[in-house]
A = this chain, B = another copy of it.
Amino acid sequence: MIKVGIVGGTGYTGVELLRLLARHPQVELKAITSRKEAGMPVAEMFPNLRGRVKLAFSTPEESELEHCDVVFFATPNGVAMQQTRALLDAGVKVIDLAADFRIKDIAVWEHWYKMEHACPDLVAEAVYGLPEINRAAIKGARLIANPGCYPTAVQLGFLPLLESGAVDVGFLVADAKSGVSGAGRKAEISTLFAESADNFKAYAVGGHRHWPEIKQGLESFAGKPVGFTFVPHLLPLIRGIHATLYAKVSADIDLQSLFEKRYAGEPFVDVLPAGSHPETRSVRGANLCRIAVHRPAGSDTVVVLSVIDNLVKGAAGQAVQNMNILFDLPEDTALDAVGMLP
């Protein structure tokens, strides 16, 4: 059994990790920390877990995380970087669901996250946990930077186009929409039901932290600088990201077959038949990215539609997928849920 600890389990990625790990046959949950809620049974805060997770929240001190095999950080940005070195030194694998280890250029990271990085050397070591491009490196990693939700949907959508040189890299557009759970479980007016329901808006058009993360990925796929515009929007639904991607086709390639071949062996990327429109609900609760590629008639524009559940393939599910790879388990262990439709 793999001994698992979770730091910061009171948010949505935390409860989602618990929901998934509760059904994982190789996992023994050892600790879930929350200084603020220490002592409260997890299932009291999240009643869906009644009868399935017996743990109570514990303080970091009590939690003996250094005796775990792997620790997930489901914490705000800037927490994992303070605690990771000690865990690695104790032989514990670390999977960070926050952004501390995602961006290789420390100056860029510090600019966007408005703090000094505590351990630049570990950023260099960390493996970016997108299995579809880094599976081999993940297998041997000590420290995994679990990708952001938007970055997962956008990068998987652009990947085949950029690897193959099929598009002009100078004008890539990602019009992305996320459900409200992406904003986290935080008491804020802007994400109240009465503010977000029956409403739609863009936000952070001037600049969003996922922009440099995605750009780093796109440039590594293309092997050169890209011009990339990213506009996130807030959707009145709980779970789900839909990224609509635009680029100019620059080569005469069968796009459908390009995508199908690239993802042929991938258990968690599903390329839909030509002409399809993936729905976010088709992946609700499931660790899947569903993609369709279109080229509107008579146009040189390619339109890619990419959907994920932001809490699963965009966060906790991908983290479990990374754990499965790390520990040489079948990659879909505990990740076999069918999307909940309707």
Contact = CB atoms under 8 A, between A and B. Distances in A.
A198 B198 contact: yes
Interface of A: 12, 15, 19, 22-23, 46-52, 171, 173, 175, 177, 179-181, 183, 185-189, 191-203, 205-207, 227, 229-231, 233, 235-240, 242, 244, 246, 248, 270, 272, 275, 277-286, 290, 294, 296-297, 299-301, 303, 305, 307, 311, 336-342
B242 A202 contact: yes
A192 B175 contact: no
Contacts of A336: 23
Nearest to A302: B229
A187 B188 CA distance: 5
A301 B170 CA distance: 11
Counted per complex, copies of this chain come to 4
Contacts of A340: 19, 48, 284-285, 340
Interface centre among A47, A194, A282, A296 (most CB of B within 10 A): A194
A197 B198 contact: yes
Given A173-B173, A229-B246, A338-B19, A199 B280 contact: yes
A134 to B, nearest CB: 23
A229 B198 contact: no
